[in-house]
Amino acid sequence: MCSSHSLPYLGVLIMAVVANKMLDECLSSNRKYTMNVVLLEDSTYEWSRPFVEAAVRRAIEEDREENIKHDLNFTLTANYNGFNTTVYNRQGCGSSTCEGVAILKALHNNGEVGCVMLGPSCTFATFQLCDYKPKLTRILPPARKISDLLIHFVKEELPFKNKWERVYVYKKTSNQTEDCFWYINALEAPSASFASKINRKMLREEDDLKDALTSPERYSNVFILCGSRDHVVSIKERVGQIHEDIIFILLDIYNPGYYANTTSSKAMQDVLVITLPQRNYDYGSNSSYNDTINDYVAGYHDGALLFGKVLRERMLSKLRNRGLNDVPLSDNPFGNQSFDGTFALKSQCEAEHLFLYFVSLQYKTLLVFDTSKNETRVIDAHPDLSWKDHCLPSDKPENPNDFDTQDVIVIVLSLSVVVVTAIALIFYRQNRKERLIQKKWSHIDPHLIGPLDEREVSLKIDDDKRKDSTYFSHRGRYDKKPVILKELKNSDGDFTEDQRIELNTLLRIDYYNLTKFYGTVKFEYGVFGVFELCQRGSLRYILNDRISYPDETFMDMEFKISVMYDIAKGMSYLHSSNIEVHGRLKSTNCVVDNRMVVKITDFGCHTILKPAQPLLSSQMCGQAPEHLRENGVSQKGDVYSYAIIAHEILMRRAPFYTQHCCNIAEKIHRVQYPTGMAVFRPDLNFESASGREIELYILIKNCWDEDPERRPDFKKIELNLGKIFSNLHNQATETYMDNLIRRLQNYSRTLERLVEERTSLYKAERDRADRLNFMLLPGPVVRSLKETGRVEPELFEEVTIYFSDIVGFTTLCHYSTPMEVVDMLNDIYKNFDSILDHHDVYKVETIGDAYMVASGLPKRNGNRHAVDIAHMALDILAFVGTFELQHLPGIPLWIRIGVHSGPCAAGVVGNKMPRYCLFGDTVNTASRMESTGLPLRIHVSQSTINILQRTECKFEYEKRGETYLKGKGKEMTYWLTGVTGGKYNLPTPPTAENFQRLQQDLAEMIVSSLEKRGHGTEGFEKRKTLSTKVRRRETNVSLQSDSLPEYFHLAVTDNPSTYL
């Protein structure tokens, strides 16, 4: 018997210590057979005598019962010989010491060896003697079986794995258990089959393992090691982050713990475990060691069974061959045996085993390897592996520096395609630009002008809209850019020579502070010029919008100077171009794009645009004095107009703002006809201005000088503003992009604040809408409608439906006003709804006094649907017993409740005002249960009772008997009365079975109550004309002045239904 103190599940050897002739003499004894069991005499280890002895005794008893079945009468006994544990505890099986040798010698010298000996405990090295001694039998697997298993797995191609060629094998040099030592030796030995068939690299030190795991140039992705789960966790903690393609194969042969834990830890999710199948040992309830059974104990048990079977077959053979003097005995009678034990034996007298691979994302059997056939059987062809695509990665790591021929071809082709595409794109863009230049003033294809807003279907302007067209009615999109269309003079598109020159001049203008002209487009109703559209609108609009562009966070001095700088640069370029002069410069002709860059528009269109309408007085404020006196345009006049715009920007006021003069016509007159040496200009407050503002004021004052020759040109204005802007941040060489980025940053800060405000308002509105939707429809239905716009109808196998209505509702309505009926139903159903919040149910609808509830849909909840409906019905009935009508105090409220369970279909019907409706016979039956019920009773069908009986809740109910249900015939029904141990204060139901009689009693009680309060018939008629608040006040006064009516007294006693 081979063992190791470091591992409890070891091999057991059955050794026949005599030759065949001596064995025959043993078998021909006086039907008393003895086997010696050599054991470790200790109570600490699970494979010592106290634990093994019970298993051997159990095997002898099982063998005796088997002999009785075959009419054999012989006795099998066992002697238990324990050896001293001193050497074992000191050295264990870490050496080649065989601690039971002394016992073997003593037994042999005393002639007490017996027929067979089980044991003793020895090392795995001694365990290999079974390969050379035919009389030895081993129960647990040799190392070569593990080697065969791994060869098959590595070489085999599986649905979730490609064929592998190379692996790492980690062999610890310290703290290595002996079983792992021999298993890894079988993989390491150069002469072994594994080394000859698999390319493997040995790792002996932990540092070598760490380097291999972390290196991108590692030899293989597959690491084979022997140990336990704790061993793997320890390695990963020391190594740290491991590449996702690495695979661990762990040899943990005798550990049954993987069958107990179905879910693996995170550290084991890239590990495949090789272990033996699950062993379910059971030696009977009488064994005191039943909870300590392991593979070692099972081996002793099976060894005893094996010897008993050999004896039994030998005797049966002699009985069948009585006439023969000698019955031949095989060299090893223990070979080729099978029995109802743990293992089967083959001819080499070693046990056949099945090894299992476990998928480690969740411990499941992946493969089974049969050592007798050397073949692998796939258990799960599509396992839920943690690697990519749920497949095991390749054994070869991906190296970005390694390129095979195919990769090179792909890269070369890809680069070729990119280069060719780039060249073609450049050529196309150059040709396209040349075509645009050659086309010049020619018309743009109308089909290239699309709607600016995708919700628009056409850009064409019909005659009615064209008569009253505005600035915003001619917007569109051309070449993916927003454009604005301006109607031109020539509706036929036949331009004169001067107009063509002007169009060509506009086409050549391309500057970032001037709007771009793209050409002309001809529609059926006219010809339009296509100009760049700046979607933020005019500068005048931005100056007026103090909400979106506040002074404190956006329109600061830096932004104002940058705006003036943009206009100056645009005008400087315009004056140096062939256009030379603007002539209509004002704040409404300065537009702002999405990047907050100011651009100038409406320039150079003197001959092609339709004649403008006469300027309004407010539009003439920006004209130079010399042009007010005599019509015309000039560059110096543009400088004056620029000064007026700059004043608007700095003051953020209307054009030509002054405190002492508000009349625009008077302002224009005083500018046009100055008095004396003083000229009339907008206000500039030099006294309160800062140093930088004074610089700007001086520049503005120079620009609107009365003498045009003394006004600076835009080159000087641009230079002065550039210096002022650079000094603003002490940056003498700030570029245009720096300026633009700073401007966008300021705008983004303001925009973030506005977005947060709008977002909070949007979220609040969305939450209100969601709450309303969830009040109207179930949550899953609302989400489906929001995501897909429709709800798929669904069949539910089992739901429970609740129906209830108010008994005598017609009578109550007869003696109540419509508003009182509405208030009454609202009071009742608001309380019903609050009860529903405490149960997993869904309110389907209320129609008049009918109330319908369902459970088990749209979310399935097992058998809970019947339980929740039952609890809810009891809660509602308990509430009804304490409810009092506000306008008819003392009058009882009676309801009937019907409950039924079964299948039904559900879905949303229609597009307008969607409702979640239920369909099926279950709905009709539930309604019949309610209509055939009695007041203050919960009428329950047989199907609901069956479901309640399957649950752990103990409901109390009474059998009503067979009840006729329309369309169903007679059905067995029940009254639900409560829950065992539950405290429900349910009202006592009325005893009258006749519904008409109950209606009459209710009407008499109402009339009697009204008469006792002094209303009578006339009072009842009067009640229908009073408001609810007035009636309640009169009722309260009546109750305070007079004694309480008889029925009111009865309604508030301990038994609230004694008035019936």
DSSP 926-990: HHHHHHTS-TTEEEEEHHHHHHHHHSS--EEEEEEEEEEETTTEEEEEEEEEEETT----PPPPP
- Asked whether residue 575 carries a pLDDT value surpassing 80, the answer given is yes
Q: How many percent of the chain have pLDDT more than 90?
A: 13
Burial zone of 710 (CB within 10 Å; 0-12 exposed, 13-18 middle, 19+ buried): exposed
Question: DSSP character for 33?
Answer: E
Secondary-structure percent of the chain, ordered helix, strand, coil, rounded to 5:
45, 20, 40
Helices 1028-1041 and 818-836: crossing angle in degrees, nearest 10, is 90
- 385-393, long-range: CB within 8 Å, 24+ apart, which pairs? 385/160, 385/359, 385/361, 386/269, 386/270, 386/360, 386/361, 387/244, 387/245, 387/247, 387/270, 388/244, 390/160, 391/160, 391/161, 392/160, 392/161, 392/162, 392/247, 393/221, 393/245, 393/246, 393/247
Q: Are 868 and 840 in contact (CB under 8 A)?
A: yes
CA-to-CA distance for 231 and 176, rounded, in angstroms?
11
Most confident of 192-196, 342-346, 746-750: 192-196
Min mean pLDDT across 126-140, 262-276, 809-823, 981-995 is at 126-140
- Asked whether residue 190 carries a pLDDT value surpassing 70, the answer given is yes
Most confident of 93-107, 783-797, 840-854: 840-854
pLDDT score, position 461: 37
Q: How many CB atoms lie within 10 A of CB 391?
A: 15
pLDDT averaged over every residue in the chain:
76
List pLDDT tens digits, range 651-684: 888 888 888 788 888 888 888 888 877 888 888 8
pLDDT score, position 596: 84
Q: How many CB atoms lie within 10 A of CB 484?
A: 21
CA-to-CA distance for 1013 and 521, rounded, in angstroms?
87
User: What is the rounded (10 degree) CA torsion for 236, 242, 244, 247?
Assistant: -50
| Between residues 215 and 128, the one the model is more confident about | 215
- Asked whether residue 504 carries a pLDDT value surpassing 80, the answer given is yes
Confidence of residue 305 (pLDDT cuts 50, 70, 90): confident
Q: Are 900 and 931 in contact (CB under 8 A)?
A: no
Q: Are 811 and 817 in contact (CB under 8 A)?
A: no
| Between residues 247 and 263, the one the model is more confident about | 247
pLDDT score, position 270: 81
Question: DSSP character for 516?
Answer: P
Phi then psi dihedrals of residue 212, to 5 deg = -65, -40
Tell me how far CA of residue 538 lies from CA of 512, 544, 592, 597, 620, in angstroms: 16, 10, 6, 11, 17
| Between residues 167 and 130, the one the model is more confident about | 167
- Asked whether residue 286 carries a pLDDT value surpassing 60, the answer given is no
List pLDDT tens digits, range 222-241: 999 988 888 888 888 888 88
Give 89-139 as a DSSP string: HHHGGGSS--TTHHHHHHHHHTT---SEEE-----HHHHGGGGT-TTEEE-
Is pTM beyond 0.85? Reply is: no
- Asked whether residue 191 carries a pLDDT value surpassing 90, the answer given is no
pLDDT score, position 9: 34
Question: DSSP character for 392?
Answer: P
List pLDDT tens digits, range 819-847: 888 888 888 888 888 898 889 898 888 88
In 3D space, the residue among 339, 341, 340, 343 whose CA is nearest the CA of residue 354 turns out to be: 343
pLDDT score, position 273: 86
Taking only Cα atoms into account, the Rg of the chain, rounded to an integer number of angstroms, comes to: 50
Classify the phi-psi angles of 960: left when phi > 0, otherwise alpha if psi is within -120 to 50, otherwise beta: alpha
Min mean pLDDT across 44-48, 523-527, 840-844 is at 44-48
pLDDT score, position 96: 35
Q: Are 4 and 291 in contact (CB under 8 A)?
A: no
Average pLDDT over residues 910-930: 85
List pLDDT tens digits, range 1006-1034: 777 777 665 544 445 545 444 444 445 44
- Asked whether residue 45 carries a pLDDT value surpassing 80, the answer given is no
pLDDT score, position 552: 67
- Asked whether residue 901 carries a pLDDT value surpassing 90, the answer given is yes
- Asked whether residue 855 carries a pLDDT value surpassing 50, the answer given is yes
List pLDDT tens digits, range 591-605: 998 888 899 998 988
